[in-house]
Amino acid sequence: MTRFNQRVYGVIGVSSILANWNADFTGRPKSLADGTVFGSDKALKYAIKHYWVNEGEKVLYIRSYQMSKGKLQTRELKEQYEQIFNTELKKKESSDEVLANLFSAIDVENFGATFAEEGQNISLTGVVQIGQGTNRYEGSVTEIQDILSPFRNSNKEDNTQASLGKKIVSNEAHYIYPFSVNPQNYDEFIPMVDGFEGYSVEAYTKFKKAALVGATALNTNSKSGASNSFAVFVAFKEGENVYLPQLDGYIDFEKNGEKAIVDVSKLTELIAPFQDQLESVEYYADPFKAEFTGNQNDVRNIYTSEFL
């Protein structure tokens, strides 16, 4: 596989209409102490990993199940490892073999791993780092819907009627996630693992594809209504070590009717001094949900990658 050696920065926009993109343990959309709604990096990573699973990729760090003594149970990490790589993890397994297996999983090659099993203590800082996605829509309100279950709850005394449940959603929310790609994070492992040549072009290509459509593909009950709306990829030339802050702080957002207006004027100013080091700046949008302003290049359709 060809090694990928370009630093990339960007943002991923996720819209949530009558959906609950990332709930806290009370079932409400996750929020900060001041009430600001946000989505954790884990929510976006889950959508990306779920997309990879559906594409037939090896994904280690995702919940899976097995039957044990007639009961359905979640696999342990060791059990998931043995299932994914079709091997037995032995106590005296050499770490280079474990690393080779880990790097063959698409989620590990992109996001890293903490693998602390007996005889192993491996920590990999991922090449792809995703920050928290803050909701930028000021009119976001939490809606609570009562749902009638078709069954009664026999645990409640004298209950003869069907029980009630709740579905909690945001009327509308627009999350902007920052991300960065630093392929050098895995360079130290190249001489340690046979056949490993570092972060690959293939792994980056698969991340990019999943980042553009993963939220849309995750069509569960609570997330039906959440979808990818826009994205920006700022890629520097091979070997150029340019260090930028998280780009979500350089994106302004507002609603104009049914469309989200994404102003990249500040981002354009931020990267202006690095024109000789830039490889490309790519803009993607759902043409019915979002549009860019602020001196951007040609915009591509987020689902087809064709120019709009």
177-198 residue pLDDT tens: 999 999 999 999 999 999 999 9
What's the CA gap between 230 and 290, in Å, rounded? 7
Q: At what angle do helices 201-217 and 41-54 cross, to 10 degrees?
A: 100
The answer to whether the CB of 212 falls within 8 A of the CB of 284 is yes
86's CB contacts (< 8 A; 6+ apart) are none
Element (H, E) at 38: strand 38-39
Arithmetic mean of pLDDT, 89-98: 91
Alpha helices in 169-281 (DSSP H): 201-217, 265-271
Arithmetic mean of pLDDT, 83-94: 92
What's the CA gap between 213 and 254, in Å, rounded? 22
The answer to whether the CB of 118 falls within 8 A of the CB of 91 is yes
Q: What is the pLDDT, as a whole number, of residue 159?
A: 63
Q: What is the pLDDT, as a whole number, of residue 1?
A: 82
More confident residue, 50 or 154: 50
Alpha helices in the chain (DSSP H): 41-54, 77-85, 95-103, 106-111, 201-217, 265-271
The answer to whether the CB of 225 falls within 8 A of the CB of 256 is no
- Closest-CA residue to 251 (of 265, 240, 237): 265
Instruction: Give the Å distances, CA to CA, from 108 to 37, 245, 247, 290.
Output: 28, 24, 24, 32
Indicate the pTM of the whole model: 0.95
The answer to whether the CB of 283 falls within 8 A of the CB of 267 is no
Residue 183, SS3 per DSSP:
helix
**Assigned token pair, 260:** 């989200």
Instruction: Give the Å distances, CA to CA, from 271 to 116, 225, 245, 275, 291.
Output: 40, 33, 11, 7, 20
- Does residue 139 carry a pLDDT above 70? yes
Percent of the chain predicted with pLDDT > 70: 96
Arithmetic mean of pLDDT, 95-104: 96
Q: Which residues of 206-215 are buried (b: 16+ CB within 10 A; e: fewer)?
A: bbbebbbbbb
What's the CA gap between 303 and 2, in Å, rounded? 26
Q: Residue 235's Cα: distance from chain center in Å? A: 19
Per-residue pLDDT tens over the stretch 31-60: 999 999 999 999 999 999 999 999 999 999
Per-residue pLDDT tens over the stretch 208-222: 999 999 999 997 776
